[in-house]
Amino acid sequence: MPGNTWGQAFRVTTFGESHGEALGAIIDGCPPGIELTAAMIQRHLDRRKPGGRFTTPRQEDDQIEILSGVFEGVTTGTPIGLLIRNQDARSQDYAKIRDRFRPGHADYTYQHKHGIRDYRGGGRSSARETAMRVAAGAIAQQFLLQQGVSIRSAVEQIGDVKAQQSDWQQIDDNPFFFLDAAAVPEVEALLRTIKKAGDSIGAAIRFEVAGLPVGLGEPVFDRLDADVAKALMSINAVKAVEIGDGFAVANQRGSEHRDEMTPSGFLSNHSGGVLGGISSGQVLRGRLALKPTSSIGISGQTINLQGEPTEIVTKGRHDPCVGIRAVAIVDAMLALTLMDHWLRHRGQNADVDCQTPQI
Amino acid sequence: MPGNTWGQAFRVTTFGESHGEALGAIIDGCPPGIELTAAMIQRHLDRRKPGGRFTTPRQEDDQIEILSGVFEGVTTGTPIGLLIRNQDARSQDYAKIRDRFRPGHADYTYQHKHGIRDYRGGGRSSARETAMRVAAGAIAQQFLLQQGVSIRSAVEQIGDVKAQQSDWQQIDDNPFFFLDAAAVPEVEALLRTIKKAGDSIGAAIRFEVAGLPVGLGEPVFDRLDADVAKALMSINAVKAVEIGDGFAVANQRGSEHRDEMTPSGFLSNHSGGVLGGISSGQVLRGRLALKPTSSIGISGQTINLQGEPTEIVTKGRHDPCVGIRAVAIVDAMLALTLMDHWLRHRGQNADVDCQTPQI
Amino acid sequence: MPGNTWGQAFRVTTFGESHGEALGAIIDGCPPGIELTAAMIQRHLDRRKPGGRFTTPRQEDDQIEILSGVFEGVTTGTPIGLLIRNQDARSQDYAKIRDRFRPGHADYTYQHKHGIRDYRGGGRSSARETAMRVAAGAIAQQFLLQQGVSIRSAVEQIGDVKAQQSDWQQIDDNPFFFLDAAAVPEVEALLRTIKKAGDSIGAAIRFEVAGLPVGLGEPVFDRLDADVAKALMSINAVKAVEIGDGFAVANQRGSEHRDEMTPSGFLSNHSGGVLGGISSGQVLRGRLALKPTSSIGISGQTINLQGEPTEIVTKGRHDPCVGIRAVAIVDAMLALTLMDHWLRHRGQNADVDCQTPQI
Amino acid sequence: MPGNTWGQAFRVTTFGESHGEALGAIIDGCPPGIELTAAMIQRHLDRRKPGGRFTTPRQEDDQIEILSGVFEGVTTGTPIGLLIRNQDARSQDYAKIRDRFRPGHADYTYQHKHGIRDYRGGGRSSARETAMRVAAGAIAQQFLLQQGVSIRSAVEQIGDVKAQQSDWQQIDDNPFFFLDAAAVPEVEALLRTIKKAGDSIGAAIRFEVAGLPVGLGEPVFDRLDADVAKALMSINAVKAVEIGDGFAVANQRGSEHRDEMTPSGFLSNHSGGVLGGISSGQVLRGRLALKPTSSIGISGQTINLQGEPTEIVTKGRHDPCVGIRAVAIVDAMLALTLMDHWLRHRGQNADVDCQTPQI
């Protein structure tokens, strides 16, 4: 069984290599009647683009095309085809890595899994693949917003710089989607140092989803928190995921952790909005961590296709911190996961009023 | 789409409520020719049983029956039916929670998802459900052992007691599957205090899988690490999962994190055995955290079915630390995930030698 | 990917060999709030039992047990476990076919697919497996009846005896579920002759489903008629399926076949109730044919496990016409398919009123 | 759950409306190392094109593009993206059917399923969608040919003209893929009459697959014959499917139908190459029937969006017999089904030698 499809009721299947002809996706199962234009999707794509939303010269890049499933500006319930052409597909020279495995990259594992790989820019394993996740996620966010669900995420740590406060309203105003405006200069200084050293740095992201109903999630395996963990861990470079209090629970007592209930609501949210794998109606919250990019200017030991020892240095542009651009991808994966569970839930429970008694 | 099935090529579907007639599972897709007896499965079940493997009087409990798919001691390739009868199904009185939601439990979310719930012992949301995961996992471990793959996990933290060293060979000799033999007395003291207070405590578990080939995992969504994260997060009470260095990567540099390669192997294992979502042939390693059980003897505020305020105390036996019995479940979920990916991989890549050049 | 699961939203997974310990099934995805008792299921099982509903001494056979998913007489939305013990599991001697392949049976293909087989009574390939389809189908029929959907099927041909008229109301009053009461004596005479000759005979079945809404079916692959065709062809011995006018369309003109519409309804039903793979609101109707059972008393040539020539005669009870007992199985497979599509449709189209303008 | 994906191990997902921007598909799960070029796919597409392979001016139409998954002429194991632009997307005027339902078409059912439809040329329900099935099927046929499996199908009946003999070698030499060369003039005469009358006619197709191993098919639901039936019934206009002797079995005796075995092979092939849902190694053979196209020049009664009575005549080019172009689609759906089962089988049974003792 291949692995390029996300979701069961709201299914997203993607294709495309970093330096191939194009990236594309098919969204199957989208409900009919949702307003959708290329511009709506483009806004989300621009948030994950190299350099973020400030570098106008790049605005031409990653132009999304809607090829089907939308008629007169509205979804029809048939599959939605999406396409982005790779403009600079042939512009770079990757001959050096044709027969060498870059440490920390998937060159080695792809080669041995399939016996062949498109080595150009990492081929299918490149983070460029996530553009299609963001495009599909934009459709899901459009649906969820209509249901009163809002998703947000922000960078809360880069290296040893941690957010001391949460200024959610300003994360789109700083180039790092950083949660603490006061720490932005520190972040800039750190990244300048890292870049000068030709090195890279890791990061941590926090997310919150408000407005969820009670009842999303399909125990015992397709729990909402389990699928969120998979969704986030499937993003390039992610190595850890927490829901609610996360690892801190190892040193909590039951009397401290359990969220007591009153007619006016829960008294706390240690659980992070999930009980028994089903959304509780509280804010769904958690954290994830991303490793530093492995494409750095510092030489490293590796082997070649023949298994012989060699060295490699990754030339060319690269993000010193992949965590920054991941914010838009985290929003997208959360949206895809929640919308899929939304459709799954209502198919089985259409006759159930999952809202009362609401607290 | 319901959620009680795990895996795609090696599919496990389970049923059963804590106080219903029985627990059961169907394993579909098991390769033919694997030796299998009820006794082989029973050994694994006994590791997760209340009180662990020391309380002989319990040896009669949770007797597993193989109902199909095995002929003359060998799997036939047809579905394997498993059954465990609930002996004490009617022995306890849960009338008190019939119309009250226990804080921290899934009572509230199940009720609102389906509009009805089997409240006895938590019904389907009870950790008793995991007995069938362990039974199915025993079959997967039997297959993986034949392939040279070995799985192990142990408790590394309970409350503020953390393992200072790793004594893997003795974890089955202490009642807590604790990784550090020297800390066992501390753990016992802590649990005695917790129990006396009628409270509970959280825990953290470490896992390691050795002997994996290069190539397991299906990018871009069904990455091996993503499915491992889902598998572990789907276990009752789990709130956090790490692969490799986990959250520590947020403060690592690329030059430090990337695992360099030489003809004699990788020079480090920060990645935890996965690159680009595909197994690298290194040890697959990570951590997870489990919340303290919510069934405690300390009264807490809650609401009833009518949304009115009330209080509740959970009477009767309960584990002060659910993390201990989770060790067998972690092994099982890892085995189910790895075997599923093993069959998926070879279906597509049967003609590929995914082993050379091996490092 | 294994093949023992039917459906996507309403999923039925079965296990069990003809002479193993038991037959069982898990129904996952059943909506909550449906009244369900073992007696409701038993009624359907009794229709497919050897000898049908007249032979009281058999009433004890095939007793179904509901093991989970039902609480206080109502489904809870959690998986429903079903079980039937095989009483005469060890009562028969199949040593003769241990190393011989019965012509027309699956002995040869199962042996070569898996390299091993449970030869007793055909093991997993026995029609006994369909008992679980009927049990699961009973639950789906319970749901569909509440929605105003009614399913019926009857034998319309056995050998050269064809129904000349349709007396639907009496099919349960004759032992062959035969559609034409006047032809029953003919059928009895034919079957007596066949039985005396130690031979068997084929049959054809007609089905009709009334009360369906417009909109069931998921183009382009999971069309309602495509899934009905698969559902029926998956029944043991079925070799042909027709929807609507079936093969007769090869010699029809467009002006004759297309069903014209008026405000008071369609003027004909050549399509059989499906347009573009989606239910039209008309009666879903079609036909299927079943081969004669291959278990006959007449010696036949075959080979053994070593590929050497030999002969075989199938001793013991066997139905001279498997088509008769298939009626209950056809009803069940139609119910499973329609209920699955019902839940799938409403998950995506919950906000659509698929009924207006109704004709 | 949406329905635009075929297969489980070899998965094909398609998108595209008849008059939308483009048609596309993603093939996920294709084994690596298979030679593939756009020209290889184009050859198959040309067989289903309007007018068949004789009208050179059309050679520019339906140009297929491979967008990913192929590197240096060989598949890499990553998803294959396929695209065909719709050149004459805006060239036709369908305003007339905007608010009217064409009898026999899916206009009525799509409108009521989703509450909205792309009416232009039938939108998603148009047979134009099958171009992507043929493109994907070309890849599967490339794989199967390497395994020694050959697929062929031909028209054996159009209206009352039936093939009296089988001249397989010449079917690509007559414009109707007709099985009996001698009957071609009759067919031409019939179609001329039909066309002049502005009417259309049905057809029947025969198929044969040679070179299959023993063992393909996953009982009990995903039988090979059940999936073949679904594959063929999912093709636009198909109303009936037979495997082996099909409906004729209703009047066969067991002693006549069962295919006896000898060391030199089966003595007959009434089963059509499938026993118990698993391929027997014999030729997989069967038949299907297609209804006459509903787009005809003869006025018919219908209703409009408001449910009011009206009339409609379908203007413009249309095939008088859709069965002719269906031959390439039948080959494609058989290839997709067989390749999917091939990969599924070897994933579970990689260690089984499913070939011995071969007969």
Kindly give, in sequence order, each residue whose CB lies less than 8 Å from that of residue B185, ignoring residues fewer than 6 positions away.
none
Chain-chain contact of A217 with B108 (C-beta, under 8 angstroms): no
CA-nearest residue to B2 within chain D is D1
Given an 8 Å threshold on Cβ–Cβ distance, is A123 in contact with D21?
no
Confidence of residue A88 (pLDDT cuts 50, 70, 90): low
Spatial CB neighbours of B39, under 8 Å, sequence gap ≥ 6: none
Backbone angles phi, psi at D129, to 5 degrees: -55, -30
Q: Which residues of D touch A65 (CB under 8 A)?
A: 21
Q: Which residues contact D160 (CB under 8 A, 6 or more apart)?
A: C251, D190
Check if the beta carbon of residue C359 is closer than 8 Å to that of residue C281. Answer: yes
Please state, as a whole number, how many other Cβ atoms lie within 10 Å of the Cβ of residue D186.
16
What Cα–Cα distance (Å) separates residue B160 from each residue in A242, A249, B292?
A: 19, 11, 13
Q: Once rounded to an integer, what is the mean pLDDT over residues D16-29?
A: 97
Of chain C residues 66-95, which have a CB less than 8 A from chain D? none
| Residue A192: pLDDT over 80 | yes
Q: How many CB pairs under 8 A join C and D?
A: 405
Report the candidate in A1, A67, A9, A5 with the shortest Cα–Cα distance to residue A218.
A9
CA distance A140 to chain C (A): 13
B2 within some domain: no
Q: What is the pLDDT of residues B125-138, one digit of tens each?
A: 999 999 999 999 99
Identify the pLDDT of residue A61.
Answer: 72
pLDDT at residue A50, rounded to an integer: 64
Check residue D102 and give left, alpha or beta (phi > 0: left; psi -120 to 50: alpha). beta
Query: Taking 60 as the threshold, does the pLDDT of residue B272 lie above it?
Result: yes
Q: Which residue has the higher pLDDT, C33 or A56?
A: C33
As a whole number of angstroms, the distance between CA C152 and CA C169 comes to 10
Kindly report, residue by residue over B329-346, the tens digit of the pLDDT. 999 999 999 999 999 999
Give residue C270's pLDDT band: very low, low, confident or very high (50, 70, 90). very high
Model pLDDT, residue D54? 32
Q: Which class for C167: exposed (0-12), middle (13-18), buried (19 or more C-beta within 10 A)?
A: middle
Q: Are D16 and A71 an interchain contact pair (Cβ–Cβ within 8 Å)?
A: no
Averaged over D146-167, what is the pLDDT?
Answer: 97
> Which amino acid is it at A135?
A
Angle at D5 between CA D4 and CA D7, to 5 degrees: 155
- pLDDT band of residue A316 (cuts 50, 70, 90) is low
Mean pLDDT to the nearest integer, D75-98: 83
Q: Is A153 annotated as a binding residue?
A: no
Residue D60 pLDDT class (50, 70, 90 cuts): very low
Examine residue D357 and state whether it is found in any structural domain, yes or no: no
Q: What is the pLDDT of residue C53?
A: 35
CA separation for the pair C43, C48 (Å, rounded): 10
Q: What's the pLDDT tens digit per position in B16-55?
A: 999 999 999 999 999 999 999 999 999 999 998 765 433 3
- Hey, which residues does D71 pair with through a beta bridge? D74
Is D31–B349 a contact, with Cβ atoms under 8 angstroms apart?
A: yes
**C345: Cβ–Cβ under 8 A, 6 or more apart, which residues?**
C215, C216, C217, C218, C354, D113
Report the binding-site residues of C for NADP(+): 48, 53
A278, A255, A280, A251: which is closest to A265 by C-alpha?
A280
Q: Is the pLDDT of residue D315 over 80?
A: no
When pLDDT is averaged across residues A316-337 and rounded to a whole number, the result is 92
Confidence at B87, pLDDT banded by 50, 70, 90: confident
pLDDT of residue D183: 97
Minimum Cα–Cα distance from D113: chain A residue = A77
Instruction: Report the amino acid identity of residue A279.
Output: S
pLDDT band of residue B79 (cuts 50, 70, 90) is very high
The pLDDT tens digits of the residues spanning B246-268 come to: 999 999 999 999 999 999 999 99
Distance CA D142, CA D335 (A): 9
Coil/strand/helix, residue C323:
helix
Q: Which position has the higher pLDDT, C7 or C93?
A: C7
CB-based contact, D29 to chain B, within 8 Å: yes
Mean pLDDT of D38-65: 72
Is residue D8 within 8 angstroms of chain B, CB to CB? yes
HSE-CB at B158 with a 13 A cutoff on CA atoms is 32
Decide if pLDDT at D107 tops 80. Answer: yes
Check the annotation: does A89 bind a ligand.
no
Closest to B109 (Cα-Cα) out of A30, A221, A224: A224
The pLDDT confidence band at residue B318, using thresholds 50, 70 and 90, is confident
Query: CA-to-CA distance for D226 and D277, rounded, in angstroms?
Result: 7
Give the model's pLDDT for residue D97: 85
pLDDT, averaged across chain C: 92
User: Is B204 at the interface with chain A, CB within 8 A?
Assistant: yes
Q: Which tops the pLDDT comparison, C307 or B50? A: C307
Partner residue facing B357 (CB), from A247, A307, A353: A307
Q: Residue B355: inside a domain, yes or no?
A: no
Distance CA B186, CA B189 (A): 5
Asked if D291 and C106 come within 8 Å (Cβ–Cβ), the reply is: no
The pLDDT value recorded for residue D350 is: 87
Rounded to 10 degrees, the C-alpha dihedral A188/A194/A198/A203 comes to -90
Please give the pLDDT value at position D56. Answer: 36
Question: Measured between alpha carbons, how far is A142 from C331 in angstroms, rounded to an integer?
Answer: 42
Range of the domain at B25: 8-347
Judge whether residue B162 has pLDDT over 70: yes
pLDDT value for D353:
60
Q: Is the pLDDT of residue C61 over 90?
A: no
Residues in C touching A348 (Cβ below 8 Å): 9, 29-32, 77, 343, 347
- Tell whether B110 is within 8 A of chain A (Cβ): yes
CB neighbours (10 Å) of residue C333? 31
Predicted complex ipTM: 0.96
pLDDT of C59 strictly over 50:
no
* C 124-153 near B (Cβ less than 8 A): 124
Helix axis angle for A323-349 and A130-146, nearest 10°, is 50
Q: Are D109 and A78 in contact (CB under 8 A)?
A: no
Distance in Å, alpha carbon of B241 to nearest chain A alpha carbon: 6
Helix (H) or strand (E) holding B185: helix B184-196
| Cross-chain residue pair D303–C158, CB shorter than 8 Å | no
- What pLDDT sits at residue D359? 62
The one-character DSSP state at C326 is H
B163-186: average pLDDT: 96
Look at residue C306 and tell me if it is in a domain: yes
Q: How far is A56 from chain B (nearest CA, A)?
A: 29
**Strand, coil or helix: what is B288?**
strand
Residues paired with residue A238 on neighbouring β-strands, in sequence order: A290
Question: Is the distance from CB of A227 to CB of A234 less than 8 angstroms?
Answer: no
Number of other residues whose CB lies within 10 A of the CB of residue B299: 13
Mean pLDDT computed over C154-169: 98
Position B59 scores a pLDDT of 40
Structurally, how many domains does chain C consist of?
1
B54-75 pLDDT tens trace: 333 334 478 999 999 999 999 9
Q: Give the mean pLDDT of chain A.
A: 92
Contact status of D297 with chain B (Cβ, < 8 Å): no
- CATH code assigned at A319: 3.60.150.10
Q: What tens digit of pLDDT does each residue of D80-91 get?
A: 999 999 986 554
Please provide residue D144's backbone torsions phi and psi, each rounded to the nearest 5 degrees: -65, -35
Question: Using CA atoms, how far apart are residues A178 and C184, in angstroms rounded to an integer?
Answer: 81
Beta bridge partners of C23: C84
- Return the pLDDT at A171: 96
pLDDT tens for A221-271 read: 999 999 999 999 999 999 999 999 999 999 999 999 999 999 999 999 999
Tokens of residue D256, six digits: 């006549």
Any domain includes B353: no
pLDDT at res. D50: 64
Cis amide linkage into residue B220, ω under 30° from 0: yes
pLDDT at residue number D55: 35
Does some domain include residue D258? yes
> Confidence class of residue D317 from pLDDT cuts 50, 70 and 90?
low
CA-based max dimension of chain C: 68
Q: Which chains touch C (3 or more CB pairs under 8 A)?
A: A, B, D
Beta carbons of C347 and A351 less than 8 Å apart: no
Helix, strand, coil share (%) of chain C residues, nearest 5: 35, 25, 40
- Nearest chain A residue to D19, by CA: A68
Q: What are the tens digits of pLDDT across the range D263-286? A: 999 999 999 999 999 999 999 999
With b meaning 16 or more CB within 10 Å and e meaning fewer, what string describes D89-110? eeeeebeebeebbbbbbbbbbb
**What does each C-alpha distance from D34 to B298, C254, D141 come to in angstroms?**
65, 43, 11
- Residues sharing a CB contact under 8 Å with residue C328, sequence separation 6 or more, in sequence order: C44, C45, C47, C48, C134
Q: Which positions in chain A touch B293 (Cβ < 8 Å)?
A: 254
Kindly list the residues from chain B whose CB atom is less than 8 angstroms away from the CB atom of residue D31: 348-352
C-alpha distances (whole Å) from D328 to each of D129, D207, D234, D286 are: 13, 11, 14, 16
Give the three-class secondary structure for D46. helix
With CA atoms as reference, report the closest residue to B237 among C234, C161, D299, A276.
A276
Quick one: pLDDT at residue C62? 82
pLDDT value at residue B93: 61
Q: Provide the pLDDT for residue A350.
A: 87
Q: Is the pLDDT of residue C269 over 90?
A: yes
State the smallest CA–CA distance between residue B187 and chain A in angstroms. 13
Q: What is the pLDDT of residue B88?
A: 65
Give ∠ CA A84-A88-A89 in degrees, rounded to 5: 80
The amino acid that residue D237 corresponds to is A
Q: According to the model, what pLDDT value does residue A102 have?
A: 95
Query: What percentage of chain D carries pLDDT values higher than 70?
Result: 92
Taking residues D284-313, report their average pLDDT. 95
Query: Is the pLDDT at C52 greater than 50, yes or no?
Result: no
What pLDDT, on a 0 to 100 scale, did the predictor assign at position C92?
57
Position D342 confidence tier, pLDDT thresholds 50, 70, 90: very high
Cα separation, B184 vs B204, whole angstroms: 15
**Does A3 touch chain B if contact means CB atoms closer than 8 Å?**
yes
A58 annotated as belonging to a binding site for a ligand: no
Quickly state the pLDDT bin for D356 (edges 50, 70, 90).
very low
CB A253 within 8 A of CB B104: no
Q: Is C265 on the interface with D (CB under 8 A)?
A: no
What is the reported pLDDT for B240?
A: 98
Neighbours of C38 (CB within 10 A): 14
Q: Which of D207, D56, D213 is nearest to D137 (CA)?
A: D207
Name residue, tokens 């409900």: A31
Chain A residues near residue C349 by CB distance under 8 angstroms:
31-32, 77
Q: Which of C20, C32, C83 has the CB atom closest to B114's CB atom?
A: C32
- Does the residue D353 lie in any domain? no
- Pick from D16, D80, D116: which is nearest to A76 by CB? D116
- pLDDT tens by residue, B211-236: 999 999 999 999 999 999 999 999 99
Distance CA C317, CA C50 (A): 10
Percent helix, percent strand, percent coil in chain A, to nearest 5:
35, 25, 40
d(CA B329, CA B333): 6
Residues D245 and D256 sit within 8 Å (Cβ to Cβ): no
pTM over 0.95: yes
**Residue A355 resides in a domain:** no
Binary contact (D113, A9; C-beta < 8 A): no
Ligand-binding site membership of A280 (annotated): no
Give the containing element (helix H, strand E) for D131. Answer: helix D130-146
Q: Per the CB < 8 Å rule, is B234 touching A217?
A: no
